[in-house]
Amino acid sequence: MEEAQRRALRRGRARLVAALRVAPLWDPLEDRGLFTRPMVEELQSAGSRGEQARQLVIDLETRGKQAFPIFLSILRDTGQGHLADMLIEECRCLPAPPQLVDLRPVELELHGEKPNKSVNLPERLSIPVQAESERPRKPPTPAQGTAVDKRNHDLVYELKADPCGHCLILNNVNFSRDSDLSTRDGSDVDCEKLEKRFKALRFDVLTRRDLKAQDMVSELRKLAQRDHRTLDCCIVVILSHGCQTSHIQFPGGIYGTDGKPIPIEKIVNYFNGSNCPSLRGKPKLFFIQACGGEQKDRGFVVDCDSPSDKAPGRSLESDASPFQTPSGFVSWREASSGSWYVEMLDSVLEQYAHSEDLLNMLLRVANAVSAKGRYKQMPGCFNFLRKKFFFTCK
């Protein structure tokens, strides 16, 4: 969604909350692909008509580039054209933004998953950088142990709190027999690495092991409902089997130990501005080690050889669900050393967290993982950050 459309929704929110008739909207919102049925049900459970309207308007900002025109069309189809006209007028009345220079689009990691090319992904976002001639640069703000003080203060998230924020790690290793999902040997290795790494990066780390889907949801909601006002960031790490699910914005799902899937989209939405207001405007990072299916990406022959995916004494496994229709791609995990993705992520954080921003480090991780073995693996990436993110190292 364009920034002018977002601002129009915010400026018109009070009038929409006061006048919007939400009941006729639910079916068209689902039929037109703006919300899934579970999302609609969550909106309906928000409370009164006004509270449902407020939640709907807030969540619309996250529904992609076609959300605004589709919403206007639905308003007209349900006899609420005057509200559509009001939003159009708000767009026209907004002042022109300052001249921006766009950087190359980047996508934030949905780690360990390579989405199927046939799946519609959300729009890619360009990160706008204000031209140097538009305003004088502010004096840089010193930071402990990082290179942030050498960069434009306005383009960098500030991490001043100690700890920086909460980090929740959900580590599923053993699955019920009824789930037909194998034991994830090596996941404890991943978990231990990330516990130590994020503690060193000044996060308060909480680990939960072997949770059913509903218990995972409970832990995620507890974290979202905490008071983050004095903190600067939040991290969620999930290590489990994965699958493909229907989605609008974030592909993939994660299994609980009972074999029930949780859509990534649902997990991310627990931490949006309406469900977790104390994290509004603050970076929320999701690191997920899971598969999107059983399909093995064999890559193609290139000039240089990549390392073998087998070594003496090592057992190579995937995090795909064995009964899933093979359409997504596997991510690889070794019982003795953990998953390829977490191994590389931990290594890159150790070497570069003191000097490089997160997205640059994720490029290093993707490059290292893609060249690791006989089968190929490419971590997925989705980015909705507005600024550069630098960890603060101890």
Indicate the angle between helix axes 81-93 and 67-77, nearest 10 degrees.
150
Question: CA quadruple 20, 21, 26, 31: dihedral positive or negative?
Answer: negative
What is the largest distance, in Å, between two alpha-carbon atoms of the chain? Answer: 70
Q: What is the DSSP letter of 262?
A: E
- How far is residue 276's CA from residue 228's CA, in Å, rounded to a whole number? 9
Structure tokens of 276? Answer: 């977790």
- Give the dihedral of Cα atoms 169, 170, 171, 174; nearest 10 deg: 160
Cite the beta strand spans of the chain per DSSP E: 100-102, 128-130, 165-171, 203-209, 233-239, 242-243, 253-255, 261-263, 284-289, 316-318, 332-334, 338-339
Q: In a 3-state reduction of DSSP, which class is residue 228?
A: coil
**Residue 192, both tokens:** 């231990």
Q: For the sheet containing 332-334, what is the strand order?
A: 316-318, 332-334, 338-339
Tell me whether residue 276 is one of the annotated catalytic residues.
no
Catalytic site residue from 234, 243, 291, 381: 291
Q: Rounded to an integer, what distance in angstroms lies between the CA atom of residue 387 and that of residue 127?
A: 8
Measured between alpha carbons, how far is 14 from 52 in angstroms, rounded to an integer?
Answer: 13
* Catalytic residue check, 241: yes
Question: Catalytic: which of 241, 243, 247, 381?
Answer: 241
Strand-pair category, 253-255 with 242-243: antiparallel
Q: How many CB atoms lie within 10 A of CB 20?
A: 22
Tell me the catalytic residues: 241, 291
